Amino acid sequence: MKRSGFKTTSYRFRILSKFLNRERDAVWKEDKMLQDVDAEPRALVHEDFHGGNMFASDGRLADIRVIFPTVTETMDQPNVAPTKYSIRAQYTSKTITVYQAYPPAIANAALYAGKFVAPFKRRRMTWIKPSFLWMAYRCGWATKKDQERVLAIEIAREGFEWALAHACLSHPTPRLYADHAAWELRKNESPVRVQWDPERDFEFRPLEYRSLQVGLKEEAVDRYVDEWTVGIRDVTGLMQEIGQLVGEGKIEEARRKMPVEEVYVLPTDVATVVGAD
């Protein structure tokens, strides 16, 4: 029985790997542009994903579950057609959830401390993503090197909106900037970059509407780490489970596992800064 189960699991992962390989070339350039991970040193702790336990490097069970917020329930996505430039996210009246993928050393240290600490580097730009599917696209369902661990970071809405209010688009856009010089001036003054990339479906095909990526640097990174972060959850298991279902062609089942994301309405002045609808 054990051998049969092992073969079944291996077969499923071969299906998933074959599916993901088709996407490798398509995102090669994008990987370089949006790289948001650090080199991986030796991990301090690791997770047994089958049991959901955390272990110290000496093999002892680490008692750190208290740092995890309650897992958000998942259900079918609302059947609402999004506008082209709108943010879709999990959020409450006070917080919004964003995603990042990291190597185990950074992820484990952040989970243990409840915030980002070394080997996370504050002095480099770090990109946060409100869309779970776009995070899946970027990290290949948590299979890409140095993006094997996916974190859900719950941050204050006040901080998220501060970031967007102080943002500059990654590329000059005539509908937002009078000319190239105006964009350059804004870029040099801003600690935040934003860009609207095509959202992806479960097979990573581009959709007609966009997904917002937010790049934080300097003051924005410090605020993100020290002021805005409310909680950090490891959602690697969920990411891998959905990816495996997609690899097996079980799209509707994968959809039911997805976190619920609804349109996040920005204050008018903030929406104007980033070009949101």
Q: Give domain status of residue 156, yes or no.
A: yes
Q: Is pLDDT at 169 greater than 70 in this prediction?
A: yes
CA distance to 26, 53, 117, per residue, from 122 (Å): 29, 28, 9
Q: What is the pLDDT of the chain when averaged over all its residues? A: 80
Q: Is pLDDT at 192 greater than 90 in this prediction?
A: yes
Q: Give domain status of residue 180, yes or no.
A: yes
pLDDT at 165: 98
pLDDT tens for residues 53-96? Answer: 333 333 333 333 223 333 333 333 344 567 999 999 999 999 99
Q: Give domain status of residue 65, yes or no.
A: no
**pLDDT, average across residues 34-41:** 39
pLDDT at 16: 54
CA dist 260 and 77 (Å) reads: 5
**pLDDT, average across residues 186-203:** 97
pLDDT band at 277 (very low <50, low <70, confident <90, very high): very high
Q: Give domain status of residue 55, yes or no.
A: no
More confident site: 33 or 52: 33
pLDDT tens for residues 113-144? Answer: 999 999 999 999 999 999 999 999 999 999 99
Alpha helices for 140-198 (secondary structure H): 157-165, 180-189
Range of the domain at 193: 88-274
Q: Is pLDDT at 4 greater than 90 in this prediction?
A: no
Q: Give domain status of residue 61, yes or no.
A: no
3-state helix, strand, coil in the chain (%, to 5): 40, 25, 40
Q: Give domain status of residue 49, yes or no.
A: no
pLDDT at 14: 54
Q: Give domain status of residue 235, yes or no.
A: yes
Write b or e for each residue in 143-180: b if 16 or more Cβ atoms lie within 10 A of its Cβ, otherwise e. Answer: bbebbbbbbbbbbbbebbbbbbbbbbbbebeeeebeee
pLDDT at 81: 63
pLDDT at 54: 36
**pLDDT, average across residues 198-227:** 97
Task: Give the pair of three-digit tokens for residue 216.
Answer: 């934080």
pLDDT at 82: 75
More confident site: 272 or 66: 272
- Give the chain's domain count: 1
Q: Give domain status of residue 92, yes or no.
A: yes
Closest CA to 95 of 48, 155, 40: 155
Give the rounded percent of residues in the chain with a pLDDT score beyond 70: 71
